Structure 1
Amino acid sequence: MKKFFKVLTSATLAASVLVASGAQAHGFWFAQRANHLAMVFGVGADDLDVIKRLPKITSFGGYDEDGSAVPSQLVTNGALVSVNIDNQPAFIAAAMDYGMWSKTPDGKWHNKGKDEVPTAVISEHNFKYGVHLRRVLSGPMPLLPDQLLQIVPVATPLPVKHGEPLQLRVLHKGKPAAGARVLADYVNDPDDKGAVADKDGMVTIKVRNQGLNVIVAIFKSAPANPAKVNQIENLASLSFVLPHEPE
């Protein structure tokens, strides 16, 4: 496998020192819409306006099995944001800076840091990441550029039947994301408490769907500017499709 991803060296702080929230748990993933591979933004069955969130996307790319770049782009198509897959990438990946959010005692969220919201009970900076696997892999899944939080299958190929176990490793800046919460079915069961990654960032789940699977990891890390936010919430998705039986 080609080595192209430079592991960042900043240490991951223990989740226990961070403030718990459960806020701004929206994320994005990739799924088929009207015969297009589309970027979907939301949580559970909520399929929200992704067009207006395009300016928040900080990186997007297509990659082959080794993690080398394959030309691709996002294209607006009516209410959809579609992926150009003419060059048949093995992976699609994107990152989004969703900004700073502060929650006030009335339960409302404001798109500002706590320095601008004096009554804030919690403030966080939200980053979203997403990887979509388009075909069966014959080797290890690479770490992809700009995916500061990434869910990586430990073994390939992936299971082919729902209900089979799937061992995953969650990495934050290339290091184990101990304590990350992993949801096995973000679309159909977003309120599940999930499984917790161990000290090595490892967790085992069962594949939930004989179709689209959207797995999500949520990991809290320390902020660069504690005067503005209490924590960083990193949310990463890994999506893939298990084939159904022939018609």
Structure 2
Amino acid sequence: MKRLNKTFTLMALVAGLAASSAAQSHGIWFAQRATQLALLYGVGADDLDIVKRFSMVTSMKGYDADGKPVPTALHVDGRLVLVDMENQPAIVSAVLDNGTWSHTPDGKWHKQGRDEQPSATVSEKNTKYAVHIIGPLTKPLPLLPDQTLQIVPVDGKLPALLGQPIKLRVYYKGKPVAGAKLMHDWINDPDGKPVLTGADGTVTIPVRNQGLNVIVAILNSPSDEPKKYDHMEHLASLSFVLPHAPE
């Protein structure tokens, strides 16, 4: 009987981990669309419907090259959510509250907590964060308001070429965090093996693309409402573009 109980416990753990992995598969990031900077939602090549999630965006901010705030905003343009670039921000950031989700034994996801889905294999609260570096910075990227989880290049200057190393530090609530999962190419290799941040919150990876790079960090933190969800999942992206050779 003890062996049987252990087997069921292991199966439940595996199911929970698999479900959590599936729930982690969507994030937000910034990228150019038809010469305009847009906020996107999805994973890999899946650019999902951000317009229907527009009301879930709780923060949108812009900063100049010194990290000082400049006015900006998001607006819906057809099927896209575009960034107001009138004040030429060098950095933009956003937060999307994706709510609470539960995965039930039948393999379905429900936008409900454990209090409404008591048989769920996992229930979690999901928040998505995004930071995009548009232009050269005069100083290292600062910690930004509302970015509970944030990826920060340790050096103030980004590499110029793909394959060159970039040292990153992941912060949670303003402090370096160990054990965060870092995905080095969210667009082209979303199923790649993550690298874990070290004791000082850092990890060094090669820059993947001579073009758009979207790096993602994922961290689970303890639940602040255990009756509703098991943990809180934070997914943060850092995006930037390495320019191609002149045409």
Output the TM-score relative to the length of structure 1: 0.91
Matches within 5 A, 1:183-194: 183-194=183-194
| Partner residue in 1 for 2:122 | 122
Q: 2:114 touches 2:229 (CA, 8 Å); kept in 1?
A: yes
1:1-247 superposed matches below 5 A: 20=17, 21-25=20-24, 26-247=26-247
Which has the higher mean CA deviation after the structures are superposed, 188-197 or 58-67? 58-67
Larger deviation, residues 61-70 vs 173-182: 61-70
CA contact (8 A) 2:64 2:70 kept: yes
Is there any run of 5+ residues in structure 2 with no aligned partner, and where?
A: 1-15
Q: Distance in 2 between matches of 1:51 and 1:65?
A: 29
Work out whether residues 214 and 239 of structure 1, in 8 Å CA contact, stay in contact via their aligned partners in 2: yes
What do the CA deviations read for 1:54-90 (whole angstroms, capped 9, x no partner)? 1111111111123221011101111110101111111
Structure-1 separation of matches of 2:163 and 2:137: 20
**Partner Cα separation in structure 2 for residue 100 and residue 65 of structure 1:** 36
Output the TM-score relative to the length of structure 2.
0.91
User: Equivalent residue for 1:16?
Assistant: none
Structure 1 residues 132-179: Cα deviation after superposition (integer angstroms, max 9, x where no partner): 000112311111110000000000210010001000000000112211
| CA drift at 1:214 | 0.3
Instruction: Please tell me the residue identity of whatever aligns with 1:155.
Output: D
CA contact (8 A) 2:65 2:136 kept: no
Measured in 1, the distance between the counterparts of 2:231 and 2:193 equals: 20
**Is the 1:103–1:120 Cα contact (8 Å) retained in structure 2?**
yes
Unmatched tracts of structure 1, length 5 or more: 1-18
Which residue identity does 1:140 align to in structure 2? P
C-alpha separation in 1, matches of 2:141 and 2:72: 19
Size of the aligned set, in residue pairs, is 229
How far residue 24 of structure 1 moved from its aligned partner, in angstroms, is 2.0
SS of aligned partner of 2:23: coil
The answer as to whether partners of 2:66 and 2:138 remain within 8 angstroms in 1 is no
Asked whether the 8 Å contact 1:177–1:219 carries over to 2, the reply is: no
Separation (CA, whole Å) in 2 of partners of 1:68 and 1:161: 28
Q: d(CA) in 1 for partners of 2:195 and 2:30?
A: 22
Please identify runs of 4+ aligned residues in structure 1 that moved more than 2 A.
none
How far apart are 1:23 and its partner, in Å? 3.1
Structure 1 residue matching 2:187: 3-state secondary structure? coil
- Cα distance between partner residues in 2 of 1:53 and 1:141: 28
| One-letter amino acid of the structure 2 residue matched with residue 221 of structure 1 | S
Q: Deviations over 1:212-240 (max 9, x none)?
A: 00000000100110111111110000000
Query: What percentage of aligned pairs have identical amino acids?
Result: 57
How large is the Cα RMSD of the aligned pairs? 1.0
Secondary structure of 1:22's aligned partner? helix
Which of the pair has more CA radius of gyration?
2
Task: Report how far residue 191 of structure 1 moved.
Answer: 0.4
